[in-house]
Amino acid sequence: MWNFYYMVILVLLMTAATCCFSRKEAMSPSPRILIVGGVAGGASAAARARRLSEESSIVLFERGPYVSFANCGLPYHIGGVIGERNRLLLQTPESLHARFRIDVRVHTEVVSIDPVSQTVVARNLKTGQETREPYDALVLSPGAEAIRPAIPGIQDDRIFTLRNMGDMDAILGAVSRDGVGRALVVGAGYIGLELAEQFHHRGLAVALVERLPHVMGVADPEMTFPIHEELSRHGVDLRLGRSVTAFEKAGGELVALLDNGDRIACDLAILCVGVRPETSLAKAAGLALGATGGILVDDRMRTSEPNIYAVGDAVEIRDFTSGDAALIPLAGPANRQGRIAAEVILGRDSRYKATQGTAICKVFDLSFAMTGLSETVLQRKGMAYRRVYVYPPDHATYYPGAHPITLKLLFDPKDGRILGAQAVGVAGVDKRIDVIAVAQRAGLTVFDLEDLELCYAPPFGSAKDPVNMAGFVAANVAREDVLLWEPEELASMTEARLLLDVRTPAEHAQGSIPGAVCLPVDDLRARLGDLPRDPELLVFCQVGLRGYIAARLLSQLGFRVRNLSGGYRRYAMWHGTHTVPLACEAPMQREES
């Protein structure tokens, strides 16, 4: 009997201990939330937390003077496109306090974190005074820092980076000085390309140096050739496949030395060679870092320490397409991550569902956009894929002002799952990549793209939208209705084959693949006897459609035939000679009808 009573008492004690532990671990219904860093992730977390909890104490620390600004708009204020500086200030400490009662402390840096006592030490950068601040939940949004390579002369005060309002002001001050007329941009990613355009708008002579053989390193090389042409058309001195090895002073000039011995004199230089996650605070606090060097978080934005969260450019995320760890510093994901961290802190089951890397960049009159993985990355990861190219107009060609879109679609050969897409053109690029990004996020396939019902009126689109066209072509390949050949195959082909140009003689005369025989698609049936039966026929046209029609005809008549996806325009882009006009040609208009 006594043993029974002892067992009951023991169970009651264990239950009480468990309850006490649970109460200790549970978040307060009105927690004190500290947020380190503003802009996209931190400011979003603060505002969302207040909308969910009026009782919580929310403190936001920002070591700079600005808590929420549009960093993506910085190049455009430098170029004068955004005229008023204040338009870049999305929120101020005063506006955040007035609307959300958030305690914003600018010019204040959090210098250490103690996860055990759940406190941080914050230092006022103006007075040097330090305070110890307790927290129930801590959100880290430190962002990323611009990379300054350790090369001779890099500390010259005429060499800048662009990450915040202070950087922008310094660059504006430099370009506004008398006698400043030459700008060097090092790195041709998103920011580098935007700055090259904006310096040109200000009337500066612009040189752009990129270590890769093409601009926009996240893109596939052939998709960037129109951008190269656009930059050259506007007088940008484009130096591809080159690196700056040093800066030196020559008289009053700043001179960049390139790895091939060239020298570029300039009045100022902007380094746009990439960013790295700012993790020093997290690392000192013992937070785990991921394989990429970013702060390791789960899908609820929780770090390795209880009650500490991290968001934005500093965190390692999961790539949506591959599932691998990645660093993808974009404003949209940072905003969503801040929102999710606040919701999790306040008891909601919110989860971050990976990053696709959907992005766009304006380069003079062109736009480049992409979503998902590039072919280059798919190859590096060893992932199976197929690719197709289409060049449809942005709207019906019988309505004035149509421009072609170069659209590349990558998909899984097993099931048609969308792996990525890239597009470049004058108009309609953002719309098509956005549609494909949504389709990819929703788990749709290239077969689903065929069936998408999208807006159509002559000024806005076509009855068969470019997204539909990409779906048609990809689905034809997936169903093996047509076999494709690639330009890079030509150099290694050993067996007999015949290059067959099915465009008109006039088009053929303007430029064709060396060794190709011209036989227009409309004449094929009447001239079948002119075609040999033994060698494989490699057909091509201007953009792929007439080649597809020819391939379907010939394959049904017993010929071995493959079509060049994207046609001669694709070959010209791959070969590095864009001899094909960028306007919508008459043959494309006829094909659309």
Catalytic residue IDs: 72
Residues 6+ apart with CB under 8 A from 168: 74, 77, 78, 162
Cα–chain center distance at 577:
26
Q: Find the length of the chain.
A: 593
Calculated CA dihedral for residues 94, 71, 141, 54, nearest 10 degrees: 30
Q: How far apart are CA 140 and CA 50, in angstroms?
A: 17
**Closest Cα partner for 91 from 278, 310, 335?**
335
- Reported as type and span, the H/E element at residue 263 is strand 263-266
* 368 SS3 class: strand
**Closest Cα partner for 502 from 534, 532, 538?**
538
Q: 132-149 b/e with 16+ CB inside 10 Å = b?
A: ebebbbbbbbbbbbbeee
Q: How many CB atoms lie within 10 A of CB 161?
A: 19
In whole angstroms, how large is the CA radius of gyration of the chain?
A: 29
Q: How many CB atoms lie within 10 A of CB 558?
A: 8
Query: What are the CA-CA distances from residue 108 to residues 35, 37, 146 (Å)?
Result: 12, 10, 21
Residues 253/240, Cβ–Cβ less than 8 Å: no
Q: How far apart are CA 237 and CA 69, in angstroms?
A: 32
**Closest Cα partner for 145 from 327, 307, 320?**
327
Residues 485/498, Cβ–Cβ less than 8 Å: no
Q: In what order do the strands lie in the sheet with 405-411?
A: 359-363, 366-372, 418-425, 405-411, 386-390
Query: 89-91 and 119-124 as β-strands: parallel, antiparallel, unpaired?
Result: unpaired
Q: How far apart are CA 188 and CA 211, in angstroms?
A: 9
Which residues in 441-576 belong to E strands, given as ranges? 484-485, 497-501, 517-518, 536-540, 561-564
| 276: β partners | 145
Residues 466/428, Cβ–Cβ less than 8 Å: yes
Residues 6+ apart with CB under 8 A from 278: 142, 143, 144, 145, 313, 314
